[in-house]
Amino acid sequence: MHIFLFCHNTKFTTANNYKQIYFIFLFRKNQALQNKIIIFISNILNISAIKNSPWIFFLFKQEWITMITEHTNTLIVGGGQAGLAMSEHLNNNKVDHIILERHRIVERWRTSRWDSLVANGPSWHDRFPSMEFSDVEPNAFAHKDSVVTYFENFAKKIKAPVRSNVDVEEVVKLPRGDGFKVTTSDGMFEAKNVVAATGPFQEPIIPTLIPKDSGIKQIHSQSYRNPEQLSNGAVLVVGAGSSGSQIAAELLQSGKEVYLSIGPHDRPPRRYRDRDNVWWLGVLGKWEAKTPSANTEHVTIAVSGYDGGKTIDFRKFAQQGMKLLGLTKEFKNGHLYFADDLKQNIVNGDRNYLSLLDEADDYVKKNELNFPEEPEARIFDPDPECVTYPILELDLIESNIQTIIWATGYKQNFKWLQVNAFDDKGNPLHNNGVSAEEGIYFLGLPWLSMRGSSFIWGVWKDAKYLAEHIAKKKIDSVQVK
C-alpha cells in the first residue's frame, strides 16, 4: 500500500478547529483496508462540510492501484552495480531519477553465485573509485557476501532511490515523442530517459545438446552452490572460463572425479613481477581497448581469485587428477563427443599468457622500473596424458558422470524494452551506451565502451559518461524553453 500526504489550502471543520490538508490515498489489492481507512477518515473529519471539495480523492480501480502516473527525468532499470553507479553520477549532476529493481539490489551476487565465489580481481581494483571495501584488504579477493555488503553500504551512502520488488513489464515511447511510458508491477511511470542497467548476466545459456530425459542432472553454473549439492558420481564441467575453472577446481579439491571441457580461452597470469594482472592490463592499456581482437569476441578468460588467487594452469589440474577434454560437440546414444582441439586450445592459452609477460617485461624496461624478475613464470609442466592422447568420446554411464555443469555464459533479454534500439538480431544499437533511440541508454554490457565496461570500476566510468550526457541534454532543453 502507498499513502501520500500533501498539504494544501483546503479548509474543513473538525472539533471546531481549522486544518489544511490534502489527501490522496492509493491502495493496491486490499479492499478491506480501503474500507477501514475510509471509515477512519469519516470519523475524524466532518465529511459533510467538505463533500463538495475537489481536494480529497479516494481513487480506486477494482482492487488495483489507480493508474496515477509517476514522473521522473530518468528511470534506471536494474539495481545492481550498473544501476547504483548510474545513480551516483545522476546525483552528482542533480538529475532526478528512480531505480526499479525486480528483486533486491545486487540480487545476482546474493542468489546466483556459488557459496565460495570471490571476485576475480583484488579489492583495490574491483570496486567503485568513490568507495573502498571496509572489510577486505586491498590485495585480497572479496567474498561474494562482502561484495553484497559493499553495495548495500554504497546505496545507503549515496541515498540511492531504489524501489525493490518492482518488475518492469514494458517500456514504450510516448505518443508525443518526448519520453517513455513505463509499465511496471507497481504502477505507471513516465520518464524522459530510461537506462537499461540489467547487466550482462540475464538469461543462462544451457545448450540443448543432451535431452532433459537422459537421466543426467544438468545445471547451469548460476545454479551451482557447493560440492555437497551434487549427487555421488563424476562431474563434467563444460566451459573453462573464470566460472568453469573455479567450480572444477573446487569439485576436485572436494574429492569429486572431475572432467573439464576446455574451449578457446585467454589465460593471463594472476600475478607477474609482484603486480596483479589487473594492474598490468591497466598500465598496458588493455582495459581501455575499444573492440576485441579479431575472432576473440567469444573467447573466455580463465582467471580467478579462488584459493587466494593463483594463475589457472590446466596442466596442473590434470596432474591433480582432473580429466581434460576438448570442446563439447555432440551427444548420441548415451555418448558425448569432443573436438580434437584440446592441445591447440591450451597452446593458444599459453601464447596469450606469454604475450602478456613479454609486454610486461618491455614496460618494465622502458620505464626503468625496479621490479623483481620472474623467469620461472615462463616454465610450463609437460603435457599430461589426456592432452597428448585426448579423449574424444565418453560413455556417460561407463564414466559414471551423474552431473553436468554448463559454465557456458549468458544471453541478453530486452523484451521489455519496446523501442527502436536494436538490430535484426536483438542486439542493442548504441555508441558508448547512448542508444540509437534518443533517451534510451545501455549500461553494464561487455565492451559497451571498452574491454573493462562490464567490470565494477568500468561500469562506474561508463555511468559517469552517460550521466553527463543526460545532464547536458536536460540543461539544453531548459535553455531552449
According to the model, what pLDDT value does residue 37 have? 52
Name the domain boundary from 363, 385, 410. Answer: 410
According to the model, what pLDDT value does residue 106 have? 96
User: Facing residues of 404 across strands?
Assistant: 218, 236
Taking the C-alpha atoms of 185, 190, 194 and 199 in order, what is their torsion angle to the nearest 10 degrees? Answer: -10
According to the model, what pLDDT value does residue 479 have? 61
Question: 139 and 259: one domain?
Answer: no
CA 215/CA 386 separation, integer angstroms: 27
According to the model, what pLDDT value does residue 474 have? 78
Question: 147 and 227: one domain?
Answer: no
DSSP 45-76: S-HHHHTT-TTEEEEEETTEEP-PPEEEEEEE
CA 97/CA 84 separation, integer angstroms: 11
- Cell readout for 99 is 531505480
Nearest to 282 by CA among 448, 124, 445, 117: 124
Question: 393 and 266: one domain?
Answer: yes
What angle is formed at CA 450 by the lines to CA 278 and CA 355, rounded to 5 degrees? 50
Q: How many residues does the chain have?
A: 481
Contact 242, 303 (CB under 8 A): yes
The b/e string for 79-95 (b: 16+ C-beta within 10 A; e otherwise) is: bbbbbbbbbbbbbebeb
* Residue 317: domain span: 205-410
DSSP 214-231: GS-EEEEGGG---GGGSP
Question: 217 and 174: one domain?
Answer: no
Q: How many domains does the chain have?
A: 3
Question: 368 and 471: one domain?
Answer: no
According to the model, what pLDDT value does residue 475 have? 79
Taking the C-alpha atoms of 74, 75, 78 and 82 in order, what is their torsion angle to the nearest 10 degrees? Answer: 0
Whichever domain contains 378, its CATH number is 3.50.50.60
Contact partners, residue 40, CB within 8 Å, separation at least 6:
none
CA 81/CA 392 separation, integer angstroms: 41
pTM of the model: 0.85
Question: 246 and 326: one domain?
Answer: yes
According to the model, what pLDDT value does residue 23 have? 41
- Distances 242 to 232, 270, 306, 333 between C-alpha atoms, Å: 25, 12, 10, 31
CA 241/CA 300 separation, integer angstroms: 5
With cell 481536494, the residue in question is: 55
According to the model, what pLDDT value does residue 52 have? 44
- Which residues, given as ranges, of the chain have pLDDT below 50? 1-36, 38-39, 41-42, 44-66
Tell me: the pLDDT tens digits for 191-245? Answer: 999 999 998 889 999 999 999 988 899 999 999 999 999 999 999 999 999 999 9
Contact 298, 266 (CB under 8 A): no
Question: 142 and 243: one domain?
Answer: no
- Distances 93 to 129, 164, 186, 475 between C-alpha atoms, Å: 17, 24, 27, 11
CA 211/CA 37 separation, integer angstroms: 56
Question: 120 and 241: one domain?
Answer: no
Question: 338 and 446: one domain?
Answer: no
Q: What share of the chain is helix, strand, coil (3-state, %, to 5)?
A: 30, 25, 45
According to the model, what pLDDT value does residue 478 have? 62
Sign, CA dihedral 407-454-308-374, equals positive
Phi and psi at 188, nearest 5°, equal -105, 145
- Taking each continuous run of H as one helix and of E as one strand, the counts in the chain are 11, 27
Question: 285 and 242: one domain?
Answer: yes
Report the DSSP pairing between strands 217-220 and 430-431. unpaired
Question: 382 and 426: one domain?
Answer: no
Contact 238, 408 (CB under 8 A): yes
Question: 282 and 363: one domain?
Answer: yes
Name the domain boundary from 65, 92, 114. Answer: 65
Sign, CA dihedral 424-430-434-437, equals negative
According to the model, what pLDDT value does residue 298 have? 59
Name the domain boundary from 42, 65, 88. Answer: 65
